[in-house]
Amino acid sequence: MNGKSFFLGVAADDFTGASDAASFLAEAGLSVVLCNEIPDELANLERRPDAVVVALKTRTIPAQDAVQQTLDAFSWLKSQGARQFYFKYCATFDSTEKGNIGPVVDAVLERYGLDYTVLCPALPVNGRTVRDGILYVNGVPLAESPMKDHPLTPMRDSDVTRLMEKQSECRAFILTAAEMTAVRDNGRKLEKPGNSGSGRWCYVPDYYEEEHGDLIAAVFGELPFLTGGSGLAGAVGRRYAHMRGMGGHGIPSRISASPQGGKALLLAGSCSKITLEQISEYQKAHDGLRLVPEKLINGEQTAETVMEWIRGHGDSPLVFSSQPPEEMRQSQSLGRERVAEAIESTLSAIAANAVGEGYTRIISAGGETSGAVTKALGYQAFYIGRSVAPGVPVMMPVENPRLRLVLKSGGFGQVDFFERAVEMTKA
């Protein structure tokens, strides 16, 4: 693909975040390819894509490593022809005071000699909104929502400007919807904030209604570097599609073809409230097996014993490690990293074994889980198809056209999400 220019280069901080952004870009009418980590090259593509999304795993690693990996991703994207960069993170700004979002933004601005960017984590269709700098989850301030007890990134501050300034060298400034409307309608550019000093800065725009995404894209769409969740990514995609007069031709026709039957396997590692509800709903009509951290660590449960159970429990069984917060805290007494590693390595090995045995549909819930699964499967690039839920597309590996993958963030999807995913990948 080298030498063939494409529009947007996206670096995402985990795999489900990458598929989330890719799905919104595809729905905007762009042709999109998602890469699992930075590939050596992109080969065997049906056509030049309008956007390429690179899935990293940088959300919770040390900041200096996250910075280097993201810079490497943008360097590769630029070498492949990307003309605009987008740093994609979760719509709940999954980041503590020492998180990675600020350092990554600082490094990209410095590398490319830029003065400012936007911080736009909102995704109103999934209940994530920003107003006057405060991030809300279904109308509740982030620090008061269930996300406050996230096992890896507990979110105890709802103010995006304050969080950013604790992480970053940038000053952060709130930008209201009324101010953006005035800028757009007057056809002028934003002036540098008077109290920004001599350093770099970022804007935190209002985004509490769906149409605000297109407003932000109209004001900031020419910036070389944007940051945010998939809501703004979709708006940027719509702006580009409108400019190009594109008509939604972005999804390769092959992706909607049936995988010719075959079994489905569902895997869940997220402990979010929504995923727990989805597991409960699915188990009303389907078999499920829970992975117990203590049993994984002492060897009582292994990928091999779980595969034996899977083979005897229908065409779409569910394997999950998800558990309520009180049980999760008890399990983490064994060591948070030790438990996470045991769960991720087991679920990813199960996925690889299942595909090796001919399963044609893998459905996974949880960012860390999905990242581990895709790494174990070893596919490099994916076409993006229609969505099971906002931000959760059906994906097809370029290297294995028979396989369908559905990988969701923990907080995404309807209560019957798993049933929907099974049905959508079947036909």
pLDDT of amino acid 15: 85
What does the block give as tokens for 64?
């200096």
pTM for the complete prediction?
Answer: 0.78
What does the block give as tokens for 289?
């097996």
Query: Cα dist. 399→338, 380, 383, 395, 402 in Å?
Result: 33, 8, 10, 12, 9
pLDDT of amino acid 43: 59
For 190: left if phi > 0, alpha if psi spans -120 to 50, otherwise beta; the answer is beta
pLDDT of amino acid 332: 76
Domains belonging to the chain, first-starting first, are 6-244 (3.40.50.10840), 253-426 (3.40.980.20)
Q: For 194-210, give the DSSP string.
A: TT-TTS-EEEEE-B-ST
3-state SS class at 127: coil
Residues 368, 369, 374, 376, CA torsion sign? positive
- Count each helix (H run) and each strand (E run) in the chain, helices first: 14, 18
The runs of H, that is alpha helices, within 173-252 are: 177-186, 211-220, 230-244
Query: Cα dist. 251→177, 380, 394, 398 in Å?
Result: 33, 18, 11, 13
Q: Are 46 and 252 in contact (CB under 8 A)?
A: yes
pLDDT of amino acid 249: 44
pLDDT of amino acid 184: 93
pLDDT of amino acid 68: 98
Tens-digit pLDDT profile for the chain (427 aa)? 544 567 899 999 988 889 889 999 999 989 889 998 898 776 556 567 899 999 999 988 999 999 999 999 999 999 988 999 999 998 888 777 888 999 999 999 999 999 999 999 999 998 999 999 999 999 999 889 887 777 677 778 899 999 999 999 999 999 999 999 999 998 777 878 877 666 899 999 999 999 999 999 999 999 999 999 999 999 999 999 988 775 444 444 445 545 556 899 999 999 899 999 999 999 999 999 999 999 999 999 999 999 999 999 999 999 999 988 788 878 777 888 888 899 999 999 999 999 999 999 999 999 889 889 988 999 988 988 888 998 899 999 988 989 999 999 888 899 999 999 999 998 6
Element (H, E) at 345: helix 336-356
63-79 helix and 101-111 helix, angle to the nearest 10 degrees: 40
pLDDT of amino acid 91: 84
pLDDT of amino acid 157: 86
Residues 193, 95, 122, 394, CA torsion sign? positive
pLDDT, tens only, 80-139: 889 999 999 988 887 778 889 999 999 999 999 999 999 999 999 989 999 999 999 999
Rounded CA-CA distance 150/301 in Å is 25
Query: Cα dist. 332→110, 319, 336 in Å?
Result: 39, 20, 5
